[in-house]
Homo-oligomer: A and B are copies of this chain.
């Protein structure tokens, strides 16, 4: 049985909005920027309470990143908000030079990440953003799993000095973590202990991993489920300790299998403890229009896909 219960589905972007509103009250240095997507990013509450600390940039994401970098110079902590594609690929060089290499304290907050934004289709469904951001030296990359954790992560990154990429999504998904759980950057969380196989999941796929583990339990497979909300810095220890016990691993992410969490884990393993691994991720294709659940099923990102990969990796375990 899934040890967690859904407290009521909510979108993770609303967790961001709630966290930002909270920061508005507690941290006078926090400022927010948006590129014509206030509603989608759930920034309304912050803006209403602190209009003078909000900057509407218009549809000019490159300029937004530069302005954010400049604001840090006056001691501000800028939170930029737009869709994940326009938060990363659109502005990679601007983030690279004006933020990452310049060591600027900018929080790049990205909604509508992954396939699950749904009907808008492939031009909006970035499946490479984790890879893009993880390659930048000094960048912290976070992909929380539900509303509560996104809210906690939003609040936590304000206190972290340095650039952060915070990724969240559009659809309503189960909210199951505790609303008062502290968020520790870079510390993976074991959500369910197990001895047969390790499932390392991030973002929306954490809940799917828990559901898969519950189903696997009924097949007498004891899966360990780790919520790896921080992809960089990666919690190598928690992964290595777990596979030392289980001997095999499945990674699960709403991302291309190239360049993302899965490859980071593969690298850690091959460098430390070569271990059979299977990948729950998109298979080097663009996305398409559809409902979130249709897409997760078609592209193999749901609990069924996780179970399949667990069976596959168990067969490979010696």
Contacts and interface: CB of A to CB of B under 8 A. Distances in A.
Interface of A: 85-86, 88-90, 92-93, 96-97, 101, 122-123, 127-128, 131-132, 134-137, 232, 256-259, 262-267, 269-271, 274-279, 284-286
Given A271-B278, A286-B137, A132 B266 contact: no
A128 B136 contact: yes
Given A93-B90, A96-B89, A131-B135, A270 B266 contact: yes
**What is the count of identical protomers in the complex?**
2
Given A267-B266, A270-B276, A275-B270, A258 B135 contact: yes
Contacts of A279: 267, 271
A314 to B, nearest CB: 14
A135 B259 contact: yes
Given A257-B267, A267-B266, A284 B137 contact: yes
Nearest to A258: B135
A93 B85 contact: yes
A76 B92 CA distance: 28
Contacts of A267: 257-258, 262-263, 266, 277, 279
